[in-house]
Chains A and B, each alone.
Chain A
Amino acid sequence: MDAFSPLYDLAGLVYGPLFMRRAAVALALMCLSTSAAGVLVVNRRLAFFPDAVGHSIFAGVALALMLSLDVQATVLGLSVAIGLAIVFLSRNSHLASDTVIGLVFSGAVALGLALVSREPQASAGLSRFFLGDVLTVDDPQILALAVLDLLSLAFLLLMTNRLTLASIAPRNGGGAWPDYLFGAYLALVVAISVQAVGVLLVTALLIAPAATGRVLSVSHCGMFWAALAAGSLAGQIGLWVSFQPAVNAAAGATVVLANVVIFALAVALRRFFPVR
């Protein structure tokens, strides 16, 4: 894809094989969106939201195979529907959001299992989503990640202040639509990222950078940029480490480990140099 060739050339300074260059570019693009969205996820205490949406991907894939629908469109559509359902249930029941998320999470997994058990041939296509593989991303997926970054930029430009205010003064009015928009946006971030890193690890890419940012700063602005830096750094360090012959481990897992290590370093740093 020509538009990305400068990025591939840049990645070529470190990596020879094209699939590694693609993986580096994909992680760079993806970590921007997941880290930035993660700031709102962590501040609004929705850490398990990405998990619930991510697990609905099995149901999405199985449903698409059963009904002969387009897999991508079904997965994205079902993810957004699940995200909106969580927001709806959180707002319209007297249950705490973690209860609602746990319920929807289980429901989504059960639906996926039920569908797959009816269609054994579907299970072959599922393992790819379970663990994901950033080394097999193709150009359309990279394009999707670039579009996701633009979407994130637009969403965060328009909605950051409103959602931050809502998490301080929930009774401030303003209606329900910001919550629903956030649910839909977050579902898209998860559904697109899941295809590269898998259901098991996508939560870490949202939560860990934001957690690091939160440990390191007392302002929203500081947290945002620290999260972006931590997430991007962990993405590239993780990929590089996984590629070393002595390590030779799954890239997605190494990236998540790098995120966790950076978080631990941030916590250690703050123990010795407290900010407040």
Chain B
Amino acid sequence: MPGPPAAAPLPGPDPVPSRHHGHAGDGGPDPAPAGPIVRLRGVSVTLGQFQALRGVSAKVPLGSQTVIIGPNGAGKSTLVQTILGLIPFQGEISFLPRRPRFGYVPQRLDFDRHMPLTVTEFLALGLTTRPLWLGVSRRVRRMALGGLEEVMAADLAGKPLGALSGGESQRVLLAAALMSRPEVLVLDEPATGVDINGEQLMCELLDGFKKDYTIIMVSHDLPTAKAHGDWVICLNRRVVAQGPPDKVFTPKILAATFGLHQGHDLWPPRVG
């Protein structure tokens, strides 16, 4: 499916499906529709008085590992939450062929860490309507354990959710996201607050998942973006550039994104 004509103000290099970058012969479910699975046109978000996103036009190619990079306060988390439908916006977001099922791994859970709740119980909340005080059934317990095994976290099943380290809770959140059988996996800063081993493990896990899911990942970390991304969106409230990493990671674009000298001379951006 050809991308729509140059309606988007940002000329991407070309609408070549990025799934052909990086890894060859992936077993994606359907190689035919090679267009974007998510496309944003002129999306603006205002939070209170603050315009967090200004006229964002970008796409997420089907089967890609799209990395959204930008400095703190660039609106990266706002952008993914807008795509997820959690924040009202102006503009247009379209999904092809239809709205996919999203699995969202938030940056962190903000909750009372001493609340009694085991990892198994937490995962059960997404798997069953049976109230927790009736106990977790053997079937749900097995499903939860299976989900934890997928992210190398089976040993965490009986632990209290509040006692997990940053990397552990990230893997539990990833397990919860995967259990919702998503088509698009959305990760917000998966390397933040995680020790080096946890980061390594997360990288390996994501590498293993990339053939099964379209992945959208938020990062302010260039090495992460380079290692995992085959499609990069450079964001600083507006889209500075988007494209495959080798086209995007130029000193000029990075300077414009991270605001070393605001990049006025680079606007409008030219990629490729």
Contacts and interface: CB of A to CB of B under 8 A. Distances in A.
B115 interface: yes
Interface in A163-199: 164-165, 167-171, 173
B179 interface: no
Nearest to A225: B133
B183 to A, nearest CB: 19
Contacts of B152: none
Given A220-B116, A222-B116, A164 B109 contact: no
A36 to B, nearest CB: 8
A161 interface: yes
Given A168-B111, A220-B121, A276-B163, A160 B131 contact: yes
Interface of A: 36, 39, 43, 45, 156-158, 160-161, 164-165, 167-171, 173, 213-214, 217-225, 276
Given A165-B125, A219-B118, A156 B86 contact: no
Interface in B193-213: none
B133 A168 contact: no
A221 B86 contact: no
B47 interface: no
Given A157-B131, A221-B132, A224-B132, A43 B112 contact: yes
B135 interface: yes
Contact of B116 (A36, A45, A223): A223
Contacts of B133: 36, 39, 156, 160, 220-221, 224-225
A221 B135 contact: yes
A171 B134 CA distance: 26
Given A43-B115, A219-B117, A219-B121, A160 B109 contact: no
- Which DSSP category, helix, strand, loop or mixed, fits chain B's interface? loop
A217 B114 CA distance: 10
A276 B164 CA distance: 12
A153 to B, nearest CB: 10
Contacts, number: 76
Given A167-B111, A218-B116, A221-B136, A161 B125 contact: yes
A63 B124 CA distance: 46
Sorting the interface of chain B by its residue count into under 10, 10 to 19, 20 to 34 or 35 or more gives: 20 to 34
B136 A164 contact: no
Contacts of B129: 161
A251 B7 CA distance: 77
B132 A220 contact: yes
Contact of A45 (B106, B112, B134, B160): B112
Interface in B48-92: 81, 86
A215 to B, nearest CB: 9
B249 interface: no
A221 B111 contact: no
Contacts of A43: 112, 115-116
Contacts of A36: 133
A266 to B, nearest CB: 13
Q: Which of B81, B106, B125 has the most CB of A within 10 A?
A: B125
A169 B106 contact: yes
29 contacts: A43-B112, A43-B116, A45-B112, A156-B133, A160-B133, A161-B128, A161-B129, A161-B131, A164-B125, A164-B132, A165-B125, A168-B109, A168-B117, A168-B122, A168-B125, A169-B106, A169-B109, A171-B86, A171-B106, A173-B86, A213-B116, A214-B114, A214-B115, A219-B118, A219-B132, A220-B132, A222-B116, A224-B133, A276-B163
B118 A218 contact: yes
Contacts of A222: 116
A96 to B, nearest CB: 14
A238 B254 CA distance: 70
B155 to A, nearest CB: 15
Nearest to A165: B125
A218 B157 CA distance: 12
